[in-house]
Each structure stands twice: as C-alpha cells, then as structure tokens.
Structure 1
C-alpha cells in the first residue's frame, strides 16, 4: 500500500466507540484551575497510553499541574498532536441544563465542561494515535502526543514543553482545538496589559488636596476607542476579522465603604487582539502616547505588558498544510479555511519552536466557556479519522 492507502486504512481503524467513551471519561474528570487542576487527567491518561504501547513522560510544570508526553516511534521529522487538559470553571450550576461533569449524550451531542474545549479534541487525537499504531506499528518518525496543562491561563504548560526541548526535531504540529474542523492557518496575536494610574489620596470633600487618578484613567479608556478604530482601519483579515483593544478590568477605590476618600491608584487591564503583520512594539508606543495624553495634573502612569503572544500564519505550501488538505480529500471531507480568533498553545509552538502549525478540531468555536458546552459526535469522529490520516502521511512523507 502507498501512504495514501495507509492513511485511509488508519482512518478506518479509529475505534469510534472508544472516541466517545474516552471523551466522556475525560469530561467526567474535573480539571479546572484554581481547583482540582490537571493532575487527575494525567493520572488517568498516563497508564491508558502506556498500556497501549506508548512511551510516556510526565513533566512537572507546577504543583499539581503536569504535562503528559506520549510517543509512538523514535525518529526525527515526525508530527505533534497537541491538546490541553485544563478547562475553565463551570460557573453557576443552575445555568446548566445538563450537569457539567456527567458527559451526557443527547441527540448526537456530548454535553459537559470541556467537551468542546478541548477534551473532545484530545480524545480524538489519542484515538487517532492508537489507530496509527495499529497500521504502522512503531514508525521511523515520532508521533508525539503533547498533552499540556494551563492553556486557559498563561500557557505555562506549553512554554515548559518547548523550553525542555520536547518540540525539537518535528516537522509540524496539529493543534486539536475546536474550530469546526476548518483548516486554520492564521491565529490572532494577544497582549495582556496593565496600565496603572497613580494619584494622591485626599478627603472627598476636599479634592483639591489630592490628585484623583480616576478622571485620567477614564480619559484613557475613552481614548482607546479612537485608537482601536485606527487599528481596525489599518487591518482587516479575511479569516480573523478586526483587531480589538478591550478594557476588561478597572480597579479603583480606597477600600470597602470609603466613598469619601479619593483613591491613590486606578488599575486598568487590557485584552488586546491583533492580526498578522501588526507590530506589537509600535502598538505599545501608541498606547503609551494615549496614556500620557490622558494624564491630569499630579497624576502619573505606567504600562506593563505581562503576556505577549504574536499572531501566527502558516504558509499554504507547508508540508503539514498539504497533508491536512490531502487527508480531508481522502476522507471526502470539505476543505474549508478559517482563522483562530484567540491564541492557542500553537502560538508558542509556532513563535518559539518555529514549527508549522495547523489548528483544526471538532466543536463550534463559539461554544467554549459557556454553560451547556457540547461537542457533536459526528464532528468528533471526523476529526479523529482526519488526525489518523494526516499522521500517517507525515510519518511516511
């Protein structure tokens, strides 16, 4: 058989019942943080993969927050299948029609926290890797399951994975996030920024005795609308849409009940999303200018970037992209292109490790983080078959 026939065979070898069972098993393990964390998922998956012939490594990232790495084969030039183990909190339970950790199946959907983002995609990747093993045995190139913690936070899991050298020697990575099984070659960049306005406390009845930072902070937040409009006029991406500057946190006040005290500080948090080609340093300079222009007498301000994630773009002619497109055609699935509106672990696999990435996986992109999160079983099975077919092509290419 040639590699395309073997790719189709691997897709056929995917155990569809096990994809569903494994997704349900993973959803039933609570792994939000702060809370139980990701250790229980790793405790479940490490022996599961080892019993199926994978070489497993548990990488400690933080207390109770490990990465799991599982390999098939030992040679260079292979493929990474990536899926994180953490989920966001379930929030108020009364908002859920289907309990968040029961993984109920209703009308062809699996409901539960993480079903879509992204325990469904992780289960699909694992079952695909098992199917590849059935067809290829121990391949000459390595198929690596990268199963990190903390994607929903500061992505410390994937950063630790890369720093330890686990991304070296691979030809690319499939990021198994919920993107409706679209071929996503573009991801937005992101910056997380604190802007702190410093004034001087005073009695509310005598504001002239102090320096109130709230009006300066307010002027700054209003000015962001003008800066955002300028950025949007400069960049509109076919698959990613518009860039955004979103204030998400405003903190001020001298303490609970202190309505008669002018506070000495206001803290503004910004979630900034950019398109490929937008220079983060230039944007920060414009933010700094807007900050300085907002200041009133006696008030100063500082700007701190505590997370900087570049936008990514994978060339259409990359070997991995060609393998994904071929896999879709082999399985008679539509080849649809899309963009990732947020950052993923793939951001750092691309920007830090220099790997070509394609983000593609089961689940609607607007479903994550909501009550009654779900994944369509049909999408789940299609993703697992696709991952198996792409893996074979990359391992034999």
Structure 2
C-alpha cells in the first residue's frame, strides 16, 4: 500500500470514522462506576459488520474487553493496536457548552467525554483495521486491535488481556493515547504511596494527654518536601517528581487526632527500581524516629506502574518516522510523556517495543469541553493503516522467525477470556 492509497482510503472513510467515534462517545463508559461492556459491544458490532472477527471478553458485571484480529501472512510477529474504552466521569455538566455525551460536531471538532482520551484513538485504530480488510491487505503479521477496560483506575482490562495470552507472538505495540499525532516512545512510571501516622487520642482541652497524629504527619511532610525518587535523568522524560495529593486526619475539633494519612504521586523515570524508592522513603521515616521516638508511621503502595521506554533506534520507531515522512513530509521526532498508559502493563513482561500515537490532544484529557479534531482523526487512521501495511518490512525478527521454522509450530493464539 502506498502513502497516497492510505490517505485516500482514510479520506473516503472520513464520515464513517467520525460516525464510529461519535457512537463510542455517545455510549457513556465513565470509570467509576466502570461499565465498559456496553461500549465494547458497539465496537464489536462495528468489527463484525465489516467482516472482521471480534471477541467480547467478559470481565465481570458490566465490564469487558473487545479484541479483533486481521490475519497476517506470519512473516513477522503480530502487531497490537491498543486502546481503552473507559473515561473519567464528565464532572459538572455546567462546565460543558457541548453536552458531555453529545458527540456534537462543530468547527471541525468532535466534542464529548473521551473524544481525546481516548475514544477518538480507538475509533482510528479500529477503522484502520477495517479499511485494511476492505483493501484486501494481508499484513506480514497478524494485526490485533484490543480495546480494554479499566485503564483510568487499575488497568484491569490490560492485565486480563496479558494473562489470557494476548501478548503471545506480538512484536510491537501501538497505543492510541492522545499525542496530537506526535510520536511518544517513553512514559514516566507511577508510584503512589499512602503514608499513615498514628497517635493517641485525648480531649482537645488536654492535648498533653495525647499524641497528635497530624503534628507527626507535619514532620513527615516537611521531610518529604524535597524528596526525589532518584538522581536519574532521562533524555526524553527528565527527572522524577513527587506530588502531595491528599491529606486527611482528625474527626472533630476538640479531639486530639490519633490518625492522619497522606497520599503521594511519584512519577518515575527508568533507572531506579520502585522497590528501592519505597525503601528510601521508609529509611527517611526511620531517621525521623531517631529524633522523635513517638513518631509511628507506615507506608503502603497503592499504585505501582514502572516507567517504560523504547530505544529511539528500534525498528518500530524508525518505521513510525518513515510513515510520518511519507504521509505528510513530517519527521515525527520521538518524545516522552509524563502520564502513564497501559504500556506499563503490556510492555515490561516481554520487553516488547511500543509507541504512543493518537489523534487526541494530551492537554484536553479529563477536561470540560474535551474534543478531537476531525482532521487528526482522519490523519491518524491513515497512519495506522500504512503502519500496519508496512509492519515487518525490513525488520529482523530472528526469534519469531526461528519459531515459525519449527515443524508444526502453532500460530500465535487469539486472545480469549480464559
């Protein structure tokens, strides 16, 4: 497939691409309460109507992934296009000029919760697979499109997809999170910590009989104000950061609080393992106890997603840049992002190279008046189509190909909900 053909296929499907994105946006799937099955069924029906096999994988009450596959020639590993079906809640309706689930078109923009993050990206990837099927394309490796649940909270869908064997035979992952059609190849990790301090309750008029857990927490906060996850600095991600997210303690003004807690959002870069960072925090608390034996505190990990990155010279990155040059005459210079994606779940176990590329704007994620530009939706569809057509070309996959040479070696399996 030539760049001109990819652009033509996407342009001729412009209305269909928009209609699919609208259908996804108009099917609410806020998380919480996490009820993605209804939007998964919309996508499954679209695949099936286009002649592509698509499996709905139930993951509990009202929850599901949907996985479609376009068979390839098995000359290369499978290529996984990944996105998530859930969104954050819309927030206050009065903050929206366009209703959150309207899918309204205005001024070349498609509005609604999830338009940018990331139902627009899911629609572009799905339509690319559908157009590849219509064009009679047989990619070098199977093209898998996985739309999963739960990314906004616990990545439940990505974990289930991985456990079910969805990554077997996969040689590259492209995640359609919002990037404004720029190329991201690295993302920070997320290490969320909850620190709790304990005291002894007493009447507020007799504080000397108690131990104030909030004052103890004050010491912890002061010590962590200048804490850094590591001394590492990544060329695309910069340095790790720490953000105090929540703080609570006490039950009543005239009661000495016996408990206080705070949560911290640490964004990390490759280098220092998260286990070492947690140990460093615990060591810091230990030093505080030397000066204050009454300080009792504990640390709990409430989210643990590693920082992941693809090397800039990986073939998948070179391919993405060439596709950008051929489609638009624009070099997609590799960048990094501070947010995390399901790559943190899908990539580390098999060290599979990944990219983030999607039509949404990162700055619009989780915002009122969230929208995606229709032009970027069409461009992203053309990119995904041409990328799949060229997947495997000029890329050496020795381990995969040696597996294929084994007599009777099975084809990579289609993910199921087992």
- TM normalised by structure 1 equals 0.92
Return the match for 1:32 from 13, 25, 30. 30
Paired residue for 1:330? 326
Asked if the contact 2:178/2:357 (under 8 Å) is kept, the reply is yes
Range with greater deviation from structure 2 (360-369 or 73-82): 73-82
Q: Over residues 134-177 of structure 1, what are the superposed CA-to-partner deviations in whole Å (9 max), with x where a residue is unaligned?
A: 23345462110010000100111101110110111011010001
Paired residue for 1:211? 211
Paired residue for 1:268? 262
Cα distance between partner residues in 2 of 1:316 and 1:45: 33
Paired residue for 1:199? 199
Return the match for 1:42 from 40, 43, 51. 40
Cα distance between partner residues in 2 of 1:395 and 1:17: 30
**1:174 and 2:174 aligned:** yes
Asked if the contact 2:32/2:88 (under 8 Å) is kept, the reply is no
Range with greater deviation from structure 2 (147-156 or 209-218): 209-218
Asked if the contact 1:162/1:352 (under 8 Å) is kept, the reply is no
Cα distance between partner residues in 2 of 1:391 and 1:149: 24
Asked if the contact 1:11/1:128 (under 8 Å) is kept, the reply is no
Cα distance between partner residues in 2 of 1:244 and 1:17: 42
Cα distance between partner residues in 2 of 1:117 and 1:333: 26
Cα distance between partner residues in 1 of 2:131 and 2:3: 10
**1:343 and 2:337 aligned:** no
Q: Over residues 187-225 of structure 1, what are the superposed CA-to-partner deviations in whole Å (9 max), with x where a residue is unaligned?
A: 101111111112221111112222211112112112222
**1:388 and 2:394 aligned:** no
Shift of 1:55: 1.5
Shift of 1:252: 1.0
Cα distance between partner residues in 1 of 2:336 and 2:34: 32
Cα distance between partner residues in 2 of 1:186 and 1:168: 22
Shift of 1:278: 3.1
Paired residue for 2:398? none
Cα distance between partner residues in 1 of 2:67 and 2:194: 34
Range with greater deviation from structure 2 (332-341 or 206-215): 332-341
Q: Over residues 346-384 of structure 1, what are the superposed CA-to-partner deviations in whole Å (9 max), with x where a residue is unaligned?
A: 122111242110011112211100111111112111111
Asked if the contact 2:6/2:385 (under 8 Å) is kept, the reply is yes
Q: Over residues 222-275 of structure 1, what are the superposed CA-to-partner deviations in whole Å (9 max), with x where a residue is unaligned?
A: 2222113x84xx344443233211111112113xxx211112211111111011
SS of equivalent to 1:157: helix
Paired residue for 2:18? 20
CA 333–190 in structure 1, closer or farther in 2 if over 3 Å, else same? farther
Shift of 1:34: 2.2
User: Which segments of 5 or more consecutive residues in structure 2 lack a partner in the other structure?
Assistant: 395-418
- TM normalised by structure 2 equals 0.88
SS of equivalent to 1:352: coil
Cα distance between partner residues in 2 of 1:292 and 1:146: 45
User: Which segments of 5 or more consecutive residues in structure 1 lack a partner in the other structure?
Assistant: none
Paired residue for 2:147? 147
Cα distance between partner residues in 1 of 2:387 and 2:201: 62
Paired residue for 1:51? 49
Cα distance between partner residues in 1 of 2:232 and 2:204: 44
Shift of 1:302: 1.1
Matches within 5 A, 1:160-171: 160-171=160-171
Cα distance between partner residues in 2 of 1:225 and 1:214: 16
Range with greater deviation from structure 2 (122-131 or 276-285): 276-285
Paired residue for 1:288? 282
Cα distance between partner residues in 2 of 1:333 and 1:134: 26
Matches within 5 A, 1:291-330: 291-295=285-289, 296-330=292-326
Range with greater deviation from structure 2 (239-248 or 143-152): 239-248
